[in-house]
Amino acid sequence: MNHSIISQQPYINPVRFHHSEAHITLEIEQLVNTVMSQRTGNQSIAGIYTKPVYQHRLESMSRLLSVYEPDYSYEYSEHLMVFWRACRDAGILHWWDNYRHGVCDLDDLSEYQFEDMLESILHYGQTCQSHRRQADRRYEMKKKQQGIQALFEEIMQRHSKVLAVRTSLYYQAEYYHENGIRQVYGHLDEFIQQMAYRKGLFDNLLAYAWVLEQGTSRGYHIHLSQFFNGSRHQYGRYLGDQSGKIWQDVTHGMGYWHNSNAQEKEFEARGTRGIGMLHRNCPAEYECALRNLGYLADPEKLDQYLRKKPKGRRSFGKSWL
């Protein structure tokens, strides 16, 4: 199998897919947004509970609550915080703790508690300041974008030729359920360590930048840009594949990659090549590279932010070597 090209994904076990942390947190966000958008006027929660969108079976609560960590070691999005508070007020978090320890059964969670939870979502959702949080995220993304582009500009000031390599790192769909955000950061840390200290292969790596995102289809994934000394390296596709193989190794075979440098000729034909060998004295290459780097932290990709994150961890990084 050629892992450097995104191919058709293998059969996705629906149970595993729906039990992945990345997709459960997105489902919670969708539930909160749906509750907030469907109620109008003085309509009671009981009146809208019968609509198909609210036919979340009580059995699904154990799955939604599986991503809850009560030890305060995580930062949650505003939507998840609304959901946790609503579950707390309805006594569902207490039920979940007892259920996990075998003290009660699934049937002990009543539909009345579910309705109370929806009412609390309405209450907390009106004060969660989601628009402000979204504006804050847009500002943060813009700062990241500027930081990546500034890194590239400084590299080009120091070197007349730079080999730019862009790789996206993913998980195979059948392993989504095994990789929560803490595992993803563990794999990312090991990958960066391997990249920074592997002798020979990355000796002429000048700098790199990465962004960790959460998507609706591919779950947690990483976009990586690497910059090599163009006087020492010229095969960007090879280096991108080697980075992908390191990712596959640190994820114990659960990961795969997409190597954008395999499509250099296509980008060249469209006049959009911002990867591969870049020359300081070529303004067209320079501008294309800046645009491509901007995609790593595009403020318009607001739906790809992390809904759950270990406290103190960043979703973006860049470094000189």
- How much is the pLDDT for 126? 83
Report the run of H or E that residue 100 belongs to, with start and end. helix 92-100
Which pLDDT tens digit goes with each residue over 33-84?
Answer: 888 887 655 555 555 554 443 445 666 888 899 898 877 789 999 999 999 9
The closest of 298, 278, 299 to 288, measured between CA atoms, is 278
- How much is the pLDDT for 34? 86
- For the residues 267-276, what does the mean pLDDT come to? 85
- How much is the pLDDT for 51? 46
Which residue type occupies 38? Answer: Q
Q: What is the DSSP letter of 276?
A: E
Measured CA to CA, the distance from residue 93 to residue 83 in angstroms comes to: 10
- How much is the pLDDT for 36? 85
Which pLDDT tens digit goes with each residue over 130-148?
Answer: 778 888 888 888 888 888 8
**3-state secondary structure at position 277:** strand
What proportion of the chain, given as a percentage, has pLDDT over 70?
Answer: 87
pTM of the model: 0.86
Which residue type occupies 92? Answer: I
Query: Which of the four pLDDT bands, split at 50, 70 and 90, describes residue 3?
Result: very low
Q: Specify which of 42-51, 179-188, 227-236 reaches the highest per-range mean pLDDT.
A: 179-188
Q: Can you give the residue ranges of every domain in the chain?
A: 14-128, 131-320
- How much is the pLDDT for 57? 60
- How much is the pLDDT for 11? 31
Would you say 224 and 317 are in contact if contact means Cβ atoms under 8 Å apart? no
In this predicted structure, the answer to whether residue 235 has a pLDDT above a threshold of 50 is: yes
Query: Which of the four pLDDT bands, split at 50, 70 and 90, describes residue 221?
Result: very high
- How much is the pLDDT for 12? 34
- For the residues 101-114, what does the mean pLDDT come to? 81
Which pLDDT tens digit goes with each residue over 293-311?
Answer: 888 877 677 789 999 999 9
* 3 contacts: CB under 8 Å, gap ≥ 6: 241, 244, 245, 248, 256, 257
